[in-house]
Amino acid sequence: MWKWGKIIFENTTYHVNSVMKTTGLQDCEVDLHGTLLWSENITYWLDHSMPVGYQNQSTVWFIGGDNVKFDGHGYGTLDGNGQVCYDFVGSTSNYPRLPMALTVTDSKNSEFTGIRFIQSQMWTLAVTSSEHVSFTNVFVNNTGTQGTVQNTDGANTIYSSHITFRDWEVINGDDSISVKANSTDILIENCTFRDGLGISIGSIGQYNGVYETVQRVIARNITLDNTDHAAYFKTWTGEQVGYPPNGGGGGLGVASDFLFEGFTGTLRGAPFSISQCTTFSGASGNCTSSKFQIRDVTFKDIKRTSSTEEVASFQCSAVKPCENISVEGVDLIYSGNNTLANEYLCGNVDGIHGFECTGAVCVGSSATAGC
């Protein structure tokens, strides 16, 4: 354990050629004034990336401890040199052993601020087994030569509580911020998300017979620029088909007590969506068989434009229907004809508030909520 220390990265480029594990820190400060640049040796990263312990994901850097203060001062950068990874995996989803840039693990009472992430190899950041940790003033740009890239989530929470994401800007081709298994008391506020999928709850229910929860999540004051959704849920079906990270299903649990409030911007798809037929391989079980329940969700105050007439698409399970879903304060213009978006597609929803279902939802396999 490293106690009461401070490390300063000066304003220069540091070449990172191997995995790093800096855990068990206590009362430590890290000042990043320069750039940590990962090598292009993809063979090394695939052979040596370290398992995160969820969905067969891996990382190149574990950092964690009690009362850690990591400050990038608005310009300190983690450059994953990810283009070589993007070219290597092509359109393959969740390529085995392809690592994420940074995993904050086993941490509490810690702060990460002013960090820039550029071209992360896969996910940008995972927060695992941590509590009372904040991430503020963070910039993520996972753009490659062909534009934004899949599997480059801005951040993921796993087995963590009381995590705050404030003042983020994320440019990517996947989930802007994703709240995954056993995450509670998560706050996302004052953020800007561009070109990705929006805020994701899940995917969850991927492990057969395993009980998971996601509870008490607030997302507010969010600016959207060409995102697929504002916020969406994705669970696996009630039957296991294949294995993680691209297959799975049969998980149990509940996602409850959500407030998504104050979204403005431009969207490509339905701003609010639920899909309980997640798959990343194209094969899934019965799309209405999930034993994972979603309940007590409020979507509130969204405005500007969308490329679809659908405000919501709620494809819920017949085994565990969604309960107590509210939508209010919608002022969203359908860009196709400049009229108010007013379609609400529903399947297996009990207890709706503030809207009426106007049609049947599409039922089918999906990686991004929607058929």
Distance CA 178, CA 279 (A): 16
Active-site residues, by number, are 174
Distance CA 101, CA 103 (A): 7
- List of residues 6+ apart from 263 with CB closer than 8 A: 222, 223, 224, 230, 231, 271, 301, 302, 303
Of the candidates 231, 198, 225, the residue with the CA atom closest to the CA atom of residue 301? 231
Distance CA 9, CA 72 (A): 9
CB 292 within 8 A of CB 320: yes
- Phi/psi region, residue 307 (left: phi>0; alpha: psi -120 to 50; beta: rest), is alpha
- List of residues 6+ apart from 207 with CB closer than 8 A: 244, 248, 250, 251
Neighbours of 162 (CB within 10 A): 16
Distance CA 321, CA 313 (A): 14
